[in-house]
Amino acid sequence: KAGVTQTPRYLIKTRGQQVTLSCSPISGHRSVSWYQQTPGQGLQFLFEYFSETQRNKGNFPGRFSGRQFSNSRSEMNVSTLELGDSALYLCASRSGTSGGPQETQYFGPGTRLLVL
Amino acid sequence: AQKITQTQPGMFVQEKEAVTLDCTYDTSDQSYGLFWYKQPSSGEMIFLIYQGSYDEQNATEGRYSLNFQKARKSANLVISASQLGDSAMYFCAMREYSYSGAGSYQLTFGKGTKLSVIP
């Protein structure tokens, strides 16, 4: 089975622009989560989508949004970029079928975003 | 208070030796899961091992084992017979799970430990 894929892998934007990142989960997985990783704050949960519905959202401003399509692929959008948005954005998927705490998330390679 | 604490920012280990990476956690949930991930310099988070709060046996996966001490709220990762390819960041993470129907899934991560394996 192919793993989680993310595009693009690297991105350079300027302040004020917006950006869209894409994530394709493992085949058959219905849940996609997004995390932001920075040297200062570490790994922080952004949001989770399950069957096209946002299940949970982390403590991020409204500039961060996402969506999930019927094929479980997900996109994350950041509007009005700030310098502090420079980070590694990681997408993770899980099957969403077991319902138990042992269910594991599998991560993609990430998208490195640099805001100038 | 931090939910996941990894007190070792960096560790060195000789090749073929065993190493223990520390992780303590804080939760009031009775049901939770603990995970360890490896992150090489390429950035991808690689799942290593899982331990459930109700599991009585320590989890093992190949060269990885988890030393789970529930009363002390610690879940240390033990890597046996270290290899050069083990050099990476290692993250401890927790999922707090309340059986309230269709729950959401959110991992809380520690700050990580950078492991360097010396030949």
B47 to chain A: nearest residue by CA?
Answer: A106
Tell me what the pLDDT averaged over chain A comes to: 93
Residues of chain A with Cβ-Cβ distance to B102 below 8 Å are 50, 55, 99
Quote the pLDDT of residue A101: 62
| Whole-number Å distance between alpha carbons of B79 and B66 | 9
Cα-Cα-Cα-Cα torsion B50, B29, A34, A106, nearest 10 degrees, comes to 10
Inter-chain contacts counted by CB atoms under 8 A, chains A and B: 70
Q: Work out whether strand A31-38 and strand A87-94 pair parallel, antiparallel, or are unpaired.
A: antiparallel
A88 touches chain B (CB under 8 A): yes
> How buried is residue B102: exposed, middle or buried, by Cβ count under 10 Å (0-12/13-18/19+)?
exposed
Instruction: Please write the tens of the pLDDT for every residue from A44-102.
Output: 999 999 989 998 889 999 999 999 999 999 999 999 999 999 999 999 999 877 666 67
Quote the pLDDT of residue A26: 95
Quote the pLDDT of residue A56: 86
- Residue B31: pLDDT band (50, 70, 90) is confident
B115 CA to chain A: closest CA distance, Å?
17
Of B35, B97, B106, the CB nearest to A104: B35
Q: Do A105 and B97 touch (CB under 8 A)?
A: no
Tokens of B9: 């920012």
